[in-house]
Amino acid sequence: MNISILGSKPPYFFLAPLASYTDLPFRSVVKKFGCDMTFSEMINVNAIAYNNEKTKKMMQKSPLEKPYFVQVAANNVENAIKAVEIINEIDWIDGIDINLGCPVNKARRSGFGGVLLKDENLELLKKIVYSIVKTSKKPISAKMRLGFDEIVAVDRAKLLEDLGVEFLTVHGRTVKQMYKGEANYEEIKKVVENVNIPVIANGDVTDFKKAEYVLNFTSASGVAIGRGAVGKPWIFLEMKQKGNITQKQKKEVILEHFNQMINFYGEYGVILFRKHAHAYSKGIAKASEFRSKINEAKDIANAVAFLASKEASYITGTILHVNGGMY
């Protein structure tokens, strides 16, 4: 089933929001290498409503991100409406994705994310989603889990469709499961069969072969990849090519990501890149040496010096724009 805002036919390959990883530099990289659609990291509507400065930076997008949805988490109607009114005035945001799946304890305690799937929170869920859809001038999607502790995916999906949600991303676990066990594709398939809006399957997609299996089994319109893209954002390119990319291509992706981190964060980008460097280095030659150098890099000069040295000869090279993040 087609998603109209994409202007192309399925299957679609989305980057699922992942806190502290899927920031603007990471999203820029995956868009350049085959990802069809990106979402901001999850943002609380309260922070948007109060014009939090950090939140404004989180809502920024790169020129490559088209379409781009901001993902919001809400636990009250009033601030949900205020947040949507603010987003309505930001031209470069193409839509809003409602988070109904976040399983972390902070979200549960605060009453947003996956906890809204509980039966006891059903009326609040209806009010929040209805208010967002009614207030928004942009398309609305939602990302949900199969339920909180019991599977209610078909019921909640049909409800969201009736409330005006235009497409769904469904993660194949309950909130209580967190990331334990295997994703339940049978339940995602049931959602696909019982709604008349596009459904994107999410959970445990780690390579192009798994993506093909999930698409064929569930008949979903696409797959969304979160944890599976950490350390290998080229997964989207492999899905488009239906095959593994070369080591040279992987190096290009890694160095492009580093470059984007410096452009966006300035010197602090080196520190933030360390977690990505550790993920990238798994299974590559001289991995421990590479991780050590990244951990020692206290500023851009050190990073550039390492990349230009003989010790980094196994890296083919890139252009690093040392311009204080001007572009």
Q: Which of 55, 49, 23 is nearest to 38 (CA)?
A: 23
CA–CA dist 145, 59 (Å, integer): 24
Q: Name the catalytic one among 35, 72, 73, 102.
A: 102
Contacts of residue 56, defined as CB under 8 A and 6 or more positions apart, other chains included, come to none
Asked if 197 and 168 count as a contact pair (C-beta separation under 8 A), the reply is: yes
Asked if 305 and 296 count as a contact pair (C-beta separation under 8 A), the reply is: no
CA–CA dist 326, 222 (Å, integer): 35
Spell out the alpha helix ranges (H) of 44-196.
45-49, 53-58, 77-88, 105-110, 122-135, 153-163, 185-194
Q: Which of 221, 257, 189, 193 is nearest to 27 (CA)?
A: 257
Asked if 195 and 158 count as a contact pair (C-beta separation under 8 A), the reply is: yes
**What are the φ/ψ torsions at residue 222 (nearest 5 degrees)?**
180, -175
Assess whether 35 carries a catalytic annotation. no
**What are the φ/ψ torsions at residue 201 (nearest 5 degrees)?**
-85, 140
Across the chain, where does the E strand assignment appear? 12-15, 38-39, 43-44, 68-73, 95-100, 140-144, 167-171, 199-202, 222-225
Q: Which of 211, 266, 218 is nearest to 241 (CA)?
A: 211
CA–CA dist 31, 137 (Å, integer): 25
**What are the φ/ψ torsions at residue 99 (nearest 5 degrees)?**
-80, 115
The catalytic site residues sit at: 102
